[in-house]
């Protein structure tokens, strides 16, 4: 009998978890499995704010995909997915094409700019190792250039972070630790540096526990962050940003660095391939398959699932992506064995922890609120757990976070 061809697109939390579990459950003779990813490495998307601020080297946040897969069972293909031709069961890559019987789409997220003018041209986003490296280099360039100019431009040292969601806040936490180091390295007066966070909603971390949010805001303010709440970025320009409160109140904030951390959408490949989607995310069936496509599973940030309790989508997280990967692998194993009774995916949210730099954090885990060193310890344990689940104990030893206070 011909072995079914399983193709997994994306080696992020969702795709790599599917591959990791599948290689444990499916025998060499049961399926022909291919894993496709743009780069030959996996990066910890959840650590990219650290690489962006420069508090962690970008090589610490990535590792070779071939090192964590069983090469007897899974073939890794480095390639960029351009389109999925569902009618023909083919995937078009930049450098070739692949046929599939079953497909897993785990292509992750892209920045959502909501059509705001100038953002694509003048703002950075924390989305990959390449973008993180660029942000770190850009900020460093601004510091290095400041003292070179006859007429010093203080706005060069202003950094705007758009959005006080979890990404924005975690990046600010790292930035406030990095700036004093940069000031020392480039002989820059700390008081000349401005870090401004612009948030459209009336509060930081909208919807999160207010007591924990107050703690985070006060810690970041103490380290020099200026919050502009209830204020939306309306435009980005070569000189900075235009912000507004309502229709009439408009103000320019001059800045040498703009980091847009104000939202994500699913991969653009989804829409290009003709799937019905909301901002690049497919509302999946309970078994994680795309409606109308019984041979296509969707995991991670490309999948949309509704939290029935509040009738709103679950926020896209690594936690959910990894849990989906596990269920997806079990469902694929069932299908390859001719079983059609597939498992339903139900997220098991264990909590949310938001770092505020290397030694501080806020969070709720297993129903308990925590702040400071305890929360920071929990965050590192979560990071190490993800490494363990994707690459076992050797990966934890190689890349794990052990700087625990
Ligand atoms: P990803 O893990 O991003 O992986 C997508 C993969 O697909 C990547 O390897 C990428 O290179 C590849 N790819 C993309 N496009 C193509 C293409 N066209 N062709 C080939 N390959 C492609 N969530 C949490 O639960 N906890 C956290 O603490 C947390 N912290 C975060 C911190 C930051 C700074 C950010 C940005 C996000 C954070 N998240 C966190 C959210 C979490 O990172 C995402 O929800 C998660 O990464 C989604 O997993 P995924 O597998 O869908 O995508
Ligand atoms: P988000 O959508 O959660 O937050 C974006 C923020 O930007 C919102 O507060 C929004 O009000 C604001 N915003 C939108 N438009 C704006 C504008 N024009 N001007 C100013 N502010 C504007 O996005 P995110 O923070 O990138 O998070 C993406 C996903 O990743 C979420 O699901 C999040 O839960 C997850 N994540 C989790 C963690 C963690 O668990 N520690 C860390 C980072 C990200």
d(CA 351, CA 374): 14
Q: Which of 107, 270, 280, 347 to mutate to test the pocket of ligand 1 (most atoms within 8 A of CB)?
A: 107
pLDDT value at residue 405? 53
What would the pLDDT profile of 318-354 be if each residue is shown by its tens digit? 999 999 999 999 999 999 999 989 999 999 999 999 9
DSSP 8-state symbol, 292: T
pLDDT in tens, 78-122: 999 999 999 999 999 999 999 999 999 999 999 999 999 999 999
User: Cβ(279)–Cβ(144) under 8 Å?
Assistant: no
In this structure, which ligand is nearest to the CA of 83?
1
pLDDT in tens, 302-319: 999 999 999 999 999 999
Q: Spelled out in words, what is the top-level CATH class assigned to the domain 113-262+350-405?
A: alpha beta
Q: How many angstroms is it from 166 CA to the middle of ligand 2?
A: 5
Report pLDDT for 243.
97
Q: What share of the chain has pLDDT > 90, as a percent? A: 97
- Closest ligand to Cα 365: 2
CATH 3.50.50.100 residue spans of the chain: 5-38+79-111+265-349, 113-262+350-405
Q: For 193-249, how does the pLDDT look when each residue is reduced to its tens digit (9 = 90+)?
A: 999 999 999 999 999 999 999 999 999 999 999 999 999 999 999 999 999 987 778
Encode pLDDT of 25-41 as tens digits.
Answer: 999 999 999 999 999 99
Tell me how far the alpha carbon of residue 88 is from its chain's centroid.
31
Q: With DSSP H G I counted as helix, E B as strand and the rest as coil, what are the percentages for the chain, rounded to 5?
A: 35, 30, 35
pLDDT of residue 248: 77
User: So what's the pLDDT on residue 165?
Assistant: 98
Domain 5-38+79-111+265-349, classified CATH 3.10.20.600, yes or no: no
């Amino acid at each position: 009998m011909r072995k079914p061809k399983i193709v997994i697109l994306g080696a992020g939390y969702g795709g790599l978890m599917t591959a990791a579990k599948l290689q444990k459950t499916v025998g060499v003779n049961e399926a022909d499995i291919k894993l496709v990813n743009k780069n030959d490495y996996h990066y910890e998307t959840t650590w990219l704010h650290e690489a962006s601020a420069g508090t962690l080297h970008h090589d610490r946040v990535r590792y070779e995909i071939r090192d964590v897969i069983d090469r007897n069972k899974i073939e890794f293909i480095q390639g960029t997915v351009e389109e999925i031709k569902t009618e023909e069961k083919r995937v078009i890559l930049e450098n070739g094409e692949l046929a599939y019987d079953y497909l897993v789409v785990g292509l992750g997220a892209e920045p959502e700019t909501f059509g705001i003018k100038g953002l694509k041209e003048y703002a950075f986003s924390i989305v990959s190792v390449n973008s993180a490296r660029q942000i770190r280099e850009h900020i460093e360039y601004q510091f290095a250039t400041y003292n070179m100019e006859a007429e010093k431009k203080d706005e060069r040292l202003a950094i705007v972070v758009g959005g006080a969601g979890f990404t924005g806040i975690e990046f600010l936490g790292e930035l406030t630790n990095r700036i004093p180091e940069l000031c020392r390295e480039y002989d820059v007066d700390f008081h000349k540096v401005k870090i401004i966070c612009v948030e459209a909603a009336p509060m930081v971390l909208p919807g999160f526990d207010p007591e924990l949010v107050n703690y985070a805001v006060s810690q970041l303010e103490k380290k020099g962050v200026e919050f502009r709440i209830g204020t939306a970025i309306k435009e980005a320009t070569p000189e900075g940003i235009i912000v507004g409160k309502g229709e009439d109140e408009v103000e320019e904030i001059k800045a040498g660095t703009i980091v847009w951390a104000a939202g994500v959408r699913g991969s653009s490949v989804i829409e290009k391939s003709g799937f019905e989607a909301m901002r690049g995310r497919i509302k999946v069936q309970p078994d994680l398959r795309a409606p109308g496509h019984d041979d296509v599973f969707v995991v991670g940030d490309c999948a949309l699932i509704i939290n029935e309790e509040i009738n709103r989508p679950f926020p896209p997280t690594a936690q959910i992506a990894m849990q989906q990967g596990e269920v997806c692998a079990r469902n694929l194993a069932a299908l390859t064995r001719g079983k059609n009774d597939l498992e339903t995916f139900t997220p098991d949210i264990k909590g949310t922890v938001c770092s505020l730099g290397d030694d501080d954090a806020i969070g709720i885990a297993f129903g308990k609120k925590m702040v400071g060193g305890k929360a920071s310890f929990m965050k590192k344990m979560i990071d190490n757990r993800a490494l363990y689940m994707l690459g076992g104990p050797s990966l934890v030893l190689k890349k794990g976070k052990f700087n625990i206070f």
